Amino acid sequence: MDKKANLILLGAPGSGKGTRAVAICKVLGISQVATGDLFRKNLSENTDLGKLAKGYMDRGELVPDDVTAAMVKERLSMPDVRAGFVLDGFPRTVNQAKMLDDILSELGENLASVIYLDVSDDEIVKRLAGRLVCKNCQAPYHTEFTPPKVDGVCDKCGGALLRRDDDNPETIRKRLKVFHESTYPLIEFYEKKGLLVRVKSEISPKGLEADMRDILEKMGLLK
Ligand code: AP5
C-alpha cells in the first residue's frame, strides 16, 4: 500500500456502500466503520443509543449529527482502525463532514479519498426490494443478484438472513428524499477539496472485487 487508506464511501441508500466496503476491506486489510450497522448493533443490545436511533431509522430520517459524530469518534479511536478505514454511511450532511474533519485532525489522521457510488433511483428501489441481511454479521445479499448458497443462511457465518425493517417502499422513498436533500451536497463539498472519485455502481456484484481493485490501483492505494 502506498498511502494510508482512510476512505469514505458516499452514496444513496442501496447504492452498494456496504457491499463495496466489504470488498475494499478484504483487499486492503482495513476496517469498515458503518454507522447504520453501529446503530443496529445498539438497537439489538437495547442500549440508550439504540433506543434513541430506532425512531429516526424507522422513519427513514437521519439520527441527529452530534449523536452520530460522537459514536463515530469513539469507533475511530479504536486500535483496529489505525491501519486505515472505510467510512460507510458517514458523513451524510455537510455539518457531519465538518465534524469529521475535526475528529480526524484530533486523531492526527487525513482522508485519502471519497468514493461516490453513482446509481439511479430506479436501480436502488430494485436493490433494496430484494435485499437480505445477516442477523449476526450484517453481510448484505440480494435474492436475485447475490443470493446466498443456501436459502436464508449467511455464507460467511451461518446466521439467519432477514429483511431490514427500513426496506419497505414508504421508508425507502423517505430515505431517498433525505439523501437528495441532505447528503447530495457532500459531492460538491468533497469535489472542491479534490478528494472525490465517482464510480458508476451499476456493475454486476460478481465483478465487484475486480472493479474495486482497479479503482484502488488508480487511486494509488494498491500496487
Ligand atoms: P444505513 O444502514 O447506512 O443505510 P443506507 O445508507 O440507507 O444504506 P444501505 O445500508 O441501505 O445500503 P448500501 O448502500 O450499504 O447498499 P448495500 O451494499 O446493502 O443507515 C440506516 C439508517 O441509519 C439511516 O436511514 C439513518 O436513520 C441512520 N444513519 C446511518 N448513518 C447515519 C448518519 N451518518 N447520520 C445520521 N443517521 C444515520 O446494497 C444494497 C442491495 O443491493 C444489497 O441487496 C446488495 O446485495 C445489492 N447490490 C449491491 N451492489 C450491487 C450491484 N453492483 N449490483 C446489483 N446489486 C447490488
State the pLDDT at residue 203: 75
In contact, 210 and 23? CB cutoff 8 Å: no
Query: Using CA atoms, how far apart are residues 199 and 202, in angstroms rounded to an integer?
Result: 9
Mean pLDDT of the chain: 93
Catalytic positions are 17, 92, 131, 164, 175
The pLDDT confidence band at residue 2, using thresholds 50, 70 and 90, is low
Higher pLDDT, 1 or 218: 218
Q: Is the pLDDT of residue 143 over 60?
A: yes
Tens-digit pLDDT profile for residues 25-43: 999 999 999 999 999 999 9
State the pLDDT at residue 110: 94
| Residue that has been written with the C-alpha cell 469513539 in this structure | 74
Query: Using CA atoms, how far apart are residues 123 and 80, in angstroms rounded to an integer?
Result: 34
Tens-digit pLDDT profile for residues 172-196: 999 999 999 999 999 999 999 999 9
State the pLDDT at residue 120: 93
Q: Which residues line ligand 1 (CB under 6 A)?
A: 11, 13-19, 35-36, 39, 56-57, 60-63, 68, 89-92, 96, 127, 130-131, 140-142, 145-146, 175, 201, 203-205, 208
In contact, 114 and 192? CB cutoff 8 Å: no
State the pLDDT at residue 179: 97
Tell me which residue has its CA closest to atom 34 in ligand 1. Answer: 90
Lowest mean pLDDT among 55-64, 140-149, 195-204: 195-204
Q: How close is the Cα of 198 to the center of ligand 1, in Å?
A: 17
Q: What is the mean pLDDT of the segment spanning 117-130?
A: 92
Q: What is the mean pLDDT of the segment spanning 48-71?
A: 96
Determine which helix (DSSP H) or strand (DSSP E) holds 131, and give its type and residue range: strand 131-134
The pLDDT confidence band at residue 138, using thresholds 50, 70 and 90, is confident
Whole-model pTM: value is 0.93
**Distance separating the N- and C-terminal Cα atoms of the chain:** 6
Q: Is the pLDDT of residue 1 over 80?
A: no
Q: How close is the Cα of 16 to the center of ligand 1, in Å?
A: 6
